Chains A and B, each alone.
Chain A
Amino acid sequence: GAVVSQHPSWVICKSGTSVKIECRSLDFQATTMFWYRQFPKQSLMLMATSNEGSKATYEQGVEKDKFLINHASLTLSTLTVTSAHPEDSSFYICSAPDRGRAGGVFGPGTRLTVL
């Protein structure tokens, strides 16, 4: 079946640095991908919709200059957390529509820890 991968699976960085997270659709193309953030013991909150060939759409309250999204190809979307701070520490999950079958395909997530 359709698979979405994320890299890295976990990352630790110092405060003030930038971190890039990749989301790839394997064996299928995704013109749209979604980025979610999940704080410990909380639900998944949609951050933004990544669109191949156009700008990402951000949810209300999400800083677009801090969370840079680039949908470089039909199989790759990247999320860059710029000038990361400890409050950005979270579990970041991406998903891609599953060929018209509702439910999407979710990546395994990336655990970001900012020291």
Chain B
Amino acid sequence: AQSVTQPDIHITVSEGASLELRCNYSYGATPYLFWYVQSPGQGLQLLLKYFSGDTLVQGIKGFEAEFKRSQSSFNLRKPSVHWSDAAEYFCAVTMNRDDKIIFGKGTRLHILP
């Protein structure tokens, strides 16, 4: 069955520090991969996506993600976090462009001043 795993429920980093959020997927083939961000009580915002090509994907707000086929991973990174980055981050997958999207359980990011 298709699945997405985000092993970290909570991550706390200091403002200005680097960030890496982990995501692993389980599929027979390489799916479309996404990272979304959700602020409290808000809807989702797409940060970036990957399907093919360059395995390092640049997104909005200074985020990037690297696809590693050998590890079935798609980790999200940011070199220097800002207090405004505190939110819930979801890794997600779909097998087809217009198909349903399956979400990981999410990682709550806390920023220390």
A residues with CB within 8 A of B: 32, 34, 36, 41-46, 49, 93, 95, 97, 100-104, 106-109, 111
Q: Is there contact, CB below 8 Å, between A107 and B102? A: no
B residues with CB within 8 A of A: 32, 34, 41-44, 46, 49, 51, 90, 94, 96-106, 108
Q: Which residue of A lies closest to B90 (CB)?
A: A43
Q: Is there contact, CB below 8 Å, between A104 and B43? A: no
Q: Is there contact, CB below 8 Å, between B49 and A102? A: yes
Known: A43-B90, A102-B32, A103-B46. A95 touches B106 (CB 8 A): no
Minimum CB–CB distance from A58 to chain B (whole Å) comes to 12
A-B pairs with the 4 shortest C-beta distances?
Answer: A97-B98, A108-B43, A102-B32, A102-B97
Known: A43-B106, A102-B49, A102-B94. A34 touches B100 (CB 8 A): yes
Q: Which residue of B lies closest to A111 (CB)?
A: B41
CB < 8 Å A-B pair total? 51
Q: Is there contact, CB below 8 Å, between A42 and B105? A: yes
Q: How far is the CA of A108 from the CA of B44 in the complex (A)?
A: 7
Q: How far is the CA of A58 from the CA of B98 in the complex (A)?
A: 17
Q: Is there contact, CB below 8 Å, between B90 and A103? A: no
Q: How far is the CA of A32 from the CA of B102 in the complex (A)?
A: 16
Query: Which residues on B sit within 8 Å (CB–CB) of A42?
Result: 105-106
Query: Which residues on A sit within 8 Å (CB–CB) of B90?
Result: 43-44
Main secondary structure, interface of A, reads: strand
Known: A103-B46, A106-B44, A108-B43. A43 touches B103 (CB 8 A): yes
Q: Is there contact, CB below 8 Å, between B100 and A93? A: no
Q: Is there contact, CB below 8 Å, between B34 and A103? A: yes
Q: Is there contact, CB below 8 Å, between B32 and A43? A: no
Q: Can you name 6 A-B residue pairings with CB atoms under 8 Å?
A: A42-B106, A43-B104, A46-B102, A93-B43, A93-B44, A102-B32
